[in-house]
Amino acid sequence: MKLETTYRANNYPIIVEHQALDHLHQYINHYQDIVLFVDAQVNQIWHETIDFITSEHDAYKFIIPSGETTKTLSFYEETIELLLSKQLTRNTCLISIGGGATGDFTGFLAATLLRGVDFIQVPTTILAHDSSVGGKVGINSKHGKNLIGAFHRPKAVIYDLNFLKTLPYSEILSGYAEVYKHALLNGPSSVTNIEAHYSNEKTLKHLTDIEYYLYKGIETKLNIIVQDEKESNIRKFLNLGHTFGHAVEYQFKIPHGHAVMLGIIFQFIVSNLTLDTNYDINHYTSYLKALNYPFDVVQKFNFESLYQLMLKDKKNDQDGVQMVLLEEIGKATVQHISKATLVQAFDIFITYFEK
């Protein structure tokens, strides 16, 4: 299946299918230089496929550490200097083969190498169905996640679903948070449908029909980002669950989606406190427990340190913390939330995770 962005110009295709990698060739055969950035874990399992691409295109292959550890300024410096030592021209394409972190890092290299070269996203996780689309690239600061970065559109997203077969369940859970978030942004029937389809660990683990839900998720995202690429307005909705989630992820170094799911719960509580909503928090926590999300980390939470991290969220303005809330399922809004309300929500939140 193939989707395509609908910006006024510089659109790019998103190919979502098994064997999607077969299409890669046509997007890269005109470049002088190709550089692959491959997540070390992905390379371990898929090195034959990847080495075939490398030799077919006489490409450079860089194996980079898995996960967020690559997204530092020092690794960025080391890598871009290494790239520049190869006398690349602007007619170069960087290809990211890995999860969200690999894509963010490679994309930021592409955005800043020689004032910008092309890049292609080859996501290998469920989580990266989200991060590979939309052009957000970046690395982490010691003050928070993704605070150094750019908007730099990929030339193509080649999403080969074969990669998903070898994902550990923890990674499936992390990715599923964004799929679920897209359903929450879509509407009540999407949520009912997906909760029924993936009702527990066993069904989610098998990823039956995941193509459909990934496709729907990407479509939901595309509808938003083509209207507001630079996140001045409705693109903020995609941060549902992320204000609290990023703080948790940053402090406790847990997988992105695990943290976002906690952020989604937190947001429902804040909605109940500040909007005219009456979400059944038990329903959502029970669902996440049925999927077997590991939430032991909640025992370590301390409001003040999470609050300090929430203050650094990019959505904030002069009036303090802004949070995406659901007025109703399928209808998001961005609201300023006072510290007092956040404290109150936090106290309620932890009661749902007491042992």
- Interacting residue ranges for a copy of itself, rule: CB under 8 A: 32, 73-74, 77, 80-81, 84-85, 87, 89-91, 111-116, 136, 138, 141-144, 146-151, 230-231, 311-312, 314, 316-318
Question: Using an 8 Å Cβ cutoff, are 258 and 293 in contact?
Answer: yes
Q: Between 84 and 350, name the residue whose CB sits nearer to a copy of itself.
A: 84
Cβ partners under 8 Å of residue 233, min gap 6: 227
- Which is closer to a copy of itself, CB of 178 or CB of 231? 231
Residue pair 164/126 in contact by the 8 Å Cβ criterion: yes
Q: In the complex with a copy of itself, which residue's Cβ is closer, 319 or 354?
A: 319
Question: Would you say 152 and 102 are in contact if contact means Cβ atoms under 8 Å apart?
Answer: no
242 among the known binding-site residues? Answer: yes
DSSP-assigned states of every residue in 277-343: ----HHHHHHHHHHTT---GGGGG--HHHHHHHHTT-TT-BTTB-EEEEEEETTEEEEEE--HHHHH
Q: Is 5 annotated as a binding residue?
A: no
Question: DSSP letter at 15?
Answer: E
Q: Of 291, 85, 73, 54, whose CA–CA distance to 196 is shortest?
A: 291
How far apart are CB 117 and a copy of itself at their closest, in Å? Answer: 10
Q: Which is nearer to a copy of itself, 311 or 343 (CB)?
A: 311
Closest distance to a copy of itself from the beta carbon of 134 (Å): 11
Residue 114 CB, nearest approach to a copy of itself (Å): 5
The residues that bridge with 258 in the sheet, in sequence order, are none
Structure tokens that stand for 137 in this block: 């690239």
Nearer to a copy of itself, 147 or 297 (CB): 147
Residue 72 is assigned to a ligand binding site? no
Residue 202 known to bind ligand: no
* Farthest-apart Cα atoms in the chain, separation: 60
Tokens (6 digits) for 215: 């496709």
> Is 249 a known ligand-binding residue?
no
16 in Cβ contact with 215 (< 8 Å): yes
In the complex, the smallest distance separating the C-beta of residue 247 from a copy of itself, rounded to whole angstroms, is: 13
Nearest CA to 129 among 65, 174, 80, 178? 178
Q: Shortest distance, CB of residue 8 to a copy of itself, whole angstroms?
A: 9
Residue 142 marked ligand-binding: no
**What is the CB neighbour count within 10 angstroms for residue 349?**
22
100 marked ligand binding residue: yes
If we measure between CA atoms, which residue out of 187, 158, 163 comes closest to residue 175?
163
Query: Cβ of residue 180: shortest distance to a copy of itself, in angstroms?
Result: 25
Least distance from a copy of itself to the Cβ atom of residue 76, Å: 8
Q: Has 67 been labeled as part of a binding site?
A: yes
Return the number of the residue (67 or 144) whose C-beta is nearest a copy of itself: 144
For the chain, the C-alpha Rg in angstroms (whole number) is: 20
Say if residue 166 carries a ligand binding annotation: yes
| 9 or 340: CB nearest a copy of itself | 9
Q: Which residues are annotated as a binding site for Zn(2+)?
A: 178, 242, 256
Q: Which residues make up each annotated binding site?
A: 66-71, 100-104, 124-125, 136, 145, 163-166, 178, 242, 256
State the binding site for NAD(+).
66-71, 100-104, 124-125, 136, 145, 163-166
